[in-house]
Chain A
């Protein structure tokens, strides 16, 4: 039985979307100030326009219900789904005005890629892009990575009881600290620490490499948030390859691992509970996954004639596996180089992308927790098969606390696994229908749906429009883990279907 949304509910949804969009208008002041500081006048105007347009749209939406009502769980699900779309729609405006994008759709692609911390890009002439525009592109990773919803909670705009509902709809299902405001603040604290120290470290590396004070600092900041928020944008067209620096790549590796860590784990470690990370099923699964995929790459490199040194193994092999598994997408090879690394390496990268990082982090993919649970349930099935029929067999695992593997938990893990695999494959099928090689199409589809951002060359300004739209939808749905997006589609469908109104 599907329950329809009422007009009053729709107004509530519109109001809070308006609040979020207004928040975007405020954040756009950062690139505006950046532009003025470095005397980039046309970009400054682009952000003035972007900010005022976002303010206009935000206020118009807020007018739908000026009472700022309490919202239900259902409403927060839809707000969560639509937040990304609306953020991307307004976030694309200054980018579309920049001259670095072929069309508004291209700008929308990058905006969605930024907010969902994917990192696929269709920007043109990135090497001549203004600092202000790069600032905005990378800020979308920071905002999206911290969760637009968490950002809204933290900015303390128009709360009341709806805040907790919004937080749950976001997909972060653990209560890290006793209440929602504290959890949001802690997430920002961890981010602030890692981003500050990361920026300082990368800036120093950049300065030692020969970059000027301003460029070194800006690139350090941008690469740090791209890595910690596991986004993967870079300010230059060669992405991380531009710097040709093993020190920078190492810094990025550490940041990527930090970024893919569950915020609960950060909390536990920072509280002094050092053992948790070793007992935790997620951490163990992720570590094992990275190890296995790196192993595949090592075998592949061993067989290849081009990649044979340790340095190549670490800088091209380990780097890309961690980049893929964490969902970052920083890349130090040209798109056409993937085949050079050998089939085993490509397989390892795709597997790493598909399986993904930890829950309650900025990573994407199926998530290591679910992979771990699925493997555990296989073990459990084998145990049950081998035990006498009257025996009760149970499996316990540790995720923050000791738990038993229940059918509900297993079912949930399998449901999400299926949703992701369906997305990966259908994206691949559609890409192949456009004429790309099937393996490449699957690679790009997994990269989009798991919000990774590594590219095999399909993504670009000349990509067919249909694929641009496809990847936008895949990035969006992957970030939402599908359910709230499906709920949105159902709600819209129900709204359009004609029916007799059975009273308010």
Chain B
């Protein structure tokens, strides 16, 4: 499957912001799930 070439420089700000939000959300989900497990076990 060929991908059309698009420049990653053009909208880098929105891409970067998306990444930051992605990491925040991922960490939050992991942290909350871990807390749940901690309560179940501890």
**B1-42 interface (Cβ within 8 A of A):** 1, 3, 5-9, 11-12, 14-16, 18-20, 22-24, 26-27, 30-31, 33-35, 37-42
A257 touches B26 (CB 8 A): yes
B41 touches A299 (CB 8 A): yes
A258 touches B38 (CB 8 A): no
Q: Which residue of A lies closest to B14 (CB)?
A: A272
Q: Which residue of B lies closest to A272 (CB)?
A: B11
**A269 contacts partner chain B, Cβ-Cβ < 8 Å:** yes
The distance in angstroms between the C-alpha atoms of A297 and B12, with both chains bound, is: 36
The smallest beta-carbon distance between B31 and chain A, in angstroms, is: 5
A269 touches B27 (CB 8 A): no
Supplied contacts A258-B23, A310-B38, 18 more A-B pairs, CB within 8 Å: A253-B23, A270-B9, A270-B15, A271-B6, A271-B8, A271-B11, A272-B11, A294-B30, A298-B34, A298-B41, A301-B38, A301-B42, A302-B39, A302-B41, A303-B41, A318-B34, A401-B3, A402-B1
**A73 contacts partner chain B, Cβ-Cβ < 8 Å:** no
What DSSP secondary structure best describes chain B's contact surface? helix
**Contact residues in B for A178 (Cβ distance below 8 Å):** 5
A310 touches B16 (CB 8 A): no
On chain A, which size bracket covers the interface? Answer: 35 or more
Which positions in B face A, CB cutoff 8 Å?
A: 1, 3, 5-9, 11-12, 14-16, 18-20, 22-24, 26-27, 30-31, 33-35, 37-42
**Contact residues in B for A297 (Cβ distance below 8 Å):** 34
**Contact residues in A for B20 (Cβ distance below 8 Å):** 254
The distance in angstroms between the C-alpha atoms of A262 and B38, with both chains bound, is: 32
**CB within 8 Å for A291 and B42 given contacts A253-B27, A270-B11, A270-B16:** no
The distance in angstroms between the C-alpha atoms of A197 and B23, with both chains bound, is: 15
B40 touches A314 (CB 8 A): no
**A89 contacts partner chain B, Cβ-Cβ < 8 Å:** no
Task: List the 5 shortest-distance A-B pairs measured between CB atoms, nearest first.
Answer: A302-B41, A270-B15, A302-B42, A298-B37, A270-B8
Which positions in A face B, CB cutoff 8 Å?
A: 177-178, 186, 189, 193-194, 197, 250, 253-254, 257-258, 261, 266-272, 274, 277, 287, 290-291, 294-295, 297-299, 301-303, 308, 310, 313-314, 317-318, 322, 401-402
Q: Give the residue among B5, B23, B26, B30 with the most A Cβ atoms within 10 A.
A: B30
What DSSP secondary structure best describes chain A's contact surface? helix
The distance in angstroms between the C-alpha atoms of A333 and B34, with both chains bound, is: 19
Q: Which residue of A lies closest to B32 (CB)?
A: A310
The smallest beta-carbon distance between A35 and chain B, in angstroms, is: 33
B19 touches A258 (CB 8 A): yes
**Contact residues in B for A271 (Cβ distance below 8 Å):** 6-8, 11, 15
The distance in angstroms between the C-alpha atoms of A261 and B22, with both chains bound, is: 12
A-B contact pairs, 26 of them (CB 8 A): A177-B8, A189-B9, A194-B16, A254-B20, A254-B27, A257-B26, A257-B27, A258-B19, A271-B6, A272-B14, A287-B26, A294-B34, A297-B34, A299-B41, A301-B38, A302-B39, A302-B42, A303-B42, A310-B38, A313-B31, A314-B31, A317-B34, A318-B27, A318-B31, A401-B3, A402-B1
Tell which of B1, B19, B38, B39 touches A269, judged by Cβ atoms closer than 8 Å.
B19
**Contact residues in B for A314 (Cβ distance below 8 Å):** 31, 34
The smallest beta-carbon distance between A94 and chain B, in angstroms, is: 35
B16 touches A298 (CB 8 A): no
Q: Which residue of A lies closest to B9 (CB)?
A: A189
**Contact residues in B for A298 (Cβ distance below 8 Å):** 34-35, 37-38, 41
**Contact residues in B for A268 (Cβ distance below 8 Å):** 8
The distance in angstroms between the C-alpha atoms of A143 and B34, with both chains bound, is: 36
The distance in angstroms between the C-alpha atoms of A274 and B30, with both chains bound, is: 21
Q: Which residue of A lies closest to B39 (CB)?
A: A302
The distance in angstroms between the C-alpha atoms of A25 and B1, with both chains bound, is: 44
The distance in angstroms between the C-alpha atoms of A303 and B41, with both chains bound, is: 7
